[in-house]
Amino acid sequence: MPAPDGLEVLRRITADPALRDVRVVMLTTFELDEYVFEALHAGASGFLLKDAEPTALLDAVRVVADGGSLLAPSVTRRVIEHFVHTQDTAQPHPRIGDLTAREREVVAWVATGRSNKEIADELVVSPDTVRTHVSRAMLKLGARDRAQLVVFAIRSGLQP
Protein backbone atom coordinates (compact mmCIF):
# COMPACT_ATOMS: atom_id res chain seq x y z
CA MET A 1 0.00 0.00 0.00
CA PRO A 2 1.47 3.38 -0.92
CA ALA A 3 1.96 6.09 1.69
CA PRO A 4 0.35 6.24 4.11
CA ASP A 5 0.73 2.59 5.01
CA GLY A 6 -2.01 0.43 6.51
CA LEU A 7 -0.93 1.07 10.09
CA GLU A 8 -1.11 4.83 9.60
CA VAL A 9 -4.56 4.54 8.03
CA LEU A 10 -5.65 2.39 10.99
CA ARG A 11 -4.31 4.99 13.45
CA ARG A 12 -6.21 7.75 11.64
CA ILE A 13 -9.43 5.75 11.70
CA THR A 14 -9.18 4.89 15.40
CA ALA A 15 -8.20 8.47 16.33
CA ASP A 16 -11.21 10.02 14.60
CA PRO A 17 -14.18 10.34 17.01
CA ALA A 18 -16.56 10.34 14.03
CA LEU A 19 -15.32 6.83 13.16
CA ARG A 20 -15.60 5.43 16.72
CA ASP A 21 -17.83 2.55 15.61
CA VAL A 22 -15.69 1.53 12.62
CA ARG A 23 -14.01 -1.86 13.00
CA VAL A 24 -10.94 -2.70 10.93
CA VAL A 25 -9.72 -6.06 9.66
CA MET A 26 -6.08 -5.74 8.62
CA LEU A 27 -5.28 -7.72 5.50
CA THR A 28 -1.57 -7.97 4.80
CA THR A 29 1.22 -9.95 3.25
CA PHE A 30 3.42 -9.12 6.26
CA GLU A 31 3.35 -11.66 9.07
CA LEU A 32 5.92 -9.72 11.07
CA ASP A 33 5.40 -9.75 14.82
CA GLU A 34 5.97 -5.99 15.10
CA TYR A 35 3.33 -5.30 12.46
CA VAL A 36 0.78 -7.60 14.10
CA PHE A 37 1.35 -6.17 17.59
CA GLU A 38 1.27 -2.59 16.38
CA ALA A 39 -1.97 -3.22 14.47
CA LEU A 40 -3.62 -4.75 17.54
CA HIS A 41 -2.35 -1.97 19.78
CA ALA A 42 -3.64 0.63 17.31
CA GLY A 43 -7.11 -0.92 17.43
CA ALA A 44 -7.40 -3.52 14.66
CA SER A 45 -10.27 -5.90 15.31
CA GLY A 46 -8.97 -8.56 12.98
CA PHE A 47 -5.77 -9.56 11.28
CA LEU A 48 -5.56 -11.87 8.27
CA LEU A 49 -2.92 -12.68 5.71
CA LYS A 50 -3.65 -11.94 2.06
CA ASP A 51 -3.37 -15.63 1.21
CA ALA A 52 -6.43 -16.39 3.39
CA GLU A 53 -9.28 -18.14 1.65
CA PRO A 54 -12.10 -15.81 0.53
CA THR A 55 -14.45 -17.56 2.95
CA ALA A 56 -12.06 -16.80 5.83
CA LEU A 57 -12.08 -13.12 4.88
CA LEU A 58 -15.86 -13.12 4.71
CA ASP A 59 -16.06 -14.85 8.10
CA ALA A 60 -13.64 -12.30 9.59
CA VAL A 61 -15.72 -9.38 8.32
CA ARG A 62 -18.88 -10.94 9.80
CA VAL A 63 -17.23 -11.65 13.16
CA VAL A 64 -15.76 -8.15 13.42
CA ALA A 65 -18.99 -6.48 12.26
CA ASP A 66 -20.77 -8.39 15.03
CA GLY A 67 -18.39 -6.89 17.61
CA GLY A 68 -15.96 -9.79 17.83
CA SER A 69 -12.35 -10.10 16.81
CA LEU A 70 -10.46 -12.58 14.69
CA LEU A 71 -6.82 -13.34 14.02
CA ALA A 72 -5.26 -15.67 11.49
CA PRO A 73 -4.38 -18.94 13.30
CA SER A 74 -0.64 -18.48 12.79
CA VAL A 75 -0.90 -14.93 14.13
CA THR A 76 -2.91 -16.03 17.18
CA ARG A 77 -0.29 -18.61 18.07
CA ARG A 78 2.54 -16.07 17.84
CA VAL A 79 0.66 -13.38 19.77
CA ILE A 80 0.05 -15.82 22.64
CA GLU A 81 3.68 -16.99 22.61
CA HIS A 82 4.92 -13.41 22.61
CA PHE A 83 2.79 -12.34 25.53
CA VAL A 84 3.52 -15.49 27.52
CA HIS A 85 7.25 -14.78 27.18
CA THR A 86 6.86 -11.11 28.11
CA GLN A 87 4.62 -11.79 31.12
CA ASP A 88 7.42 -10.82 33.51
CA THR A 89 7.53 -7.35 32.01
CA ALA A 90 3.79 -6.74 32.22
CA GLN A 91 2.81 -3.10 32.10
CA PRO A 92 -0.67 -2.83 33.60
CA HIS A 93 -3.17 -0.62 31.85
CA PRO A 94 -3.36 2.64 33.82
CA ARG A 95 -7.08 2.14 34.47
CA ILE A 96 -6.97 -1.60 35.25
CA GLY A 97 -7.65 -0.70 38.89
CA ASP A 98 -11.00 0.78 37.86
CA LEU A 99 -12.30 -2.71 37.08
CA THR A 100 -14.19 -4.68 39.68
CA ALA A 101 -12.73 -8.02 40.72
CA ARG A 102 -15.33 -9.81 38.59
CA GLU A 103 -14.62 -7.60 35.57
CA ARG A 104 -10.89 -8.37 35.88
CA GLU A 105 -11.71 -12.07 36.10
CA VAL A 106 -13.92 -11.93 33.01
CA VAL A 107 -11.32 -9.90 31.07
CA ALA A 108 -8.70 -12.51 31.98
CA TRP A 109 -10.97 -15.23 30.58
CA VAL A 110 -11.55 -13.16 27.42
CA ALA A 111 -7.76 -13.13 26.94
CA THR A 112 -7.80 -16.92 26.75
CA GLY A 113 -9.88 -16.68 23.56
CA ARG A 114 -13.05 -18.12 25.06
CA SER A 115 -16.49 -17.00 23.92
CA ASN A 116 -19.02 -15.37 26.24
CA LYS A 117 -20.87 -18.69 26.50
CA GLU A 118 -17.69 -20.59 27.39
CA ILE A 119 -16.78 -17.99 30.01
CA ALA A 120 -20.32 -18.11 31.38
CA ASP A 121 -20.11 -21.89 31.72
CA GLU A 122 -16.77 -21.59 33.53
CA LEU A 123 -18.03 -18.93 35.96
CA VAL A 124 -21.54 -20.40 36.30
CA VAL A 125 -23.29 -17.21 35.18
CA SER A 126 -25.34 -16.32 32.13
CA PRO A 127 -23.76 -15.25 28.83
CA ASP A 128 -25.62 -11.94 29.23
CA THR A 129 -23.83 -11.37 32.55
CA VAL A 130 -20.48 -12.02 30.87
CA ARG A 131 -21.43 -9.70 28.01
CA THR A 132 -22.25 -6.96 30.55
CA HIS A 133 -18.90 -7.39 32.33
CA VAL A 134 -17.04 -7.34 29.01
CA SER A 135 -18.89 -4.19 27.89
CA ARG A 136 -18.22 -2.39 31.17
CA ALA A 137 -14.55 -3.38 31.12
CA MET A 138 -14.19 -2.18 27.52
CA LEU A 139 -15.77 1.13 28.46
CA LYS A 140 -13.59 1.59 31.56
CA LEU A 141 -10.38 0.69 29.71
CA GLY A 142 -11.24 2.50 26.50
CA ALA A 143 -10.98 -0.69 24.45
CA ARG A 144 -12.51 -0.51 20.98
CA ASP A 145 -13.24 -4.24 20.84
CA ARG A 146 -12.37 -7.64 22.29
CA ALA A 147 -9.04 -7.79 20.46
CA GLN A 148 -7.85 -4.63 22.17
CA LEU A 149 -9.28 -5.89 25.48
CA VAL A 150 -7.15 -9.03 25.09
CA VAL A 151 -4.04 -6.92 24.53
CA PHE A 152 -4.82 -4.86 27.65
CA ALA A 153 -5.43 -8.01 29.70
CA ILE A 154 -2.23 -9.71 28.66
CA ARG A 155 -0.13 -6.59 29.09
CA SER A 156 -1.65 -6.14 32.54
CA GLY A 157 -0.77 -9.71 33.50
CA LEU A 158 -4.38 -10.80 34.06
CA GLN A 159 -4.86 -14.55 34.29
CA PRO A 160 -7.99 -16.58 35.09
Concatenated DSSP letters of 19-84: GTT---EEEES---HHHHHHHHHHT-SEEEETTS-HHHHHHHHHHHHTT--EE-HHHHHHHHHHHH
pLDDT digits 0-9 by tens, 64-77: 887 777 777 777 66
Confidence of residue 82 (pLDDT cuts 50, 70, 90): low
pLDDT digits 0-9 by tens, 131-147: 999 999 999 998 877 87
Q: What is the dihedral of CA 100, 131, 70, 40, to 10 degrees?
A: -30
Q: What is the rounded distance in angstroms from the CA atom of residue 96 to the CA atom of residue 160? A: 15
Q: Give pLDDT, residue 88.
A: 53
pLDDT over 90 percentage in the chain: 26
Burial label, 15 (beta-carbon count in 10 A; 0-12, 13-18, 19+): exposed
| pTM of this structure | 0.58
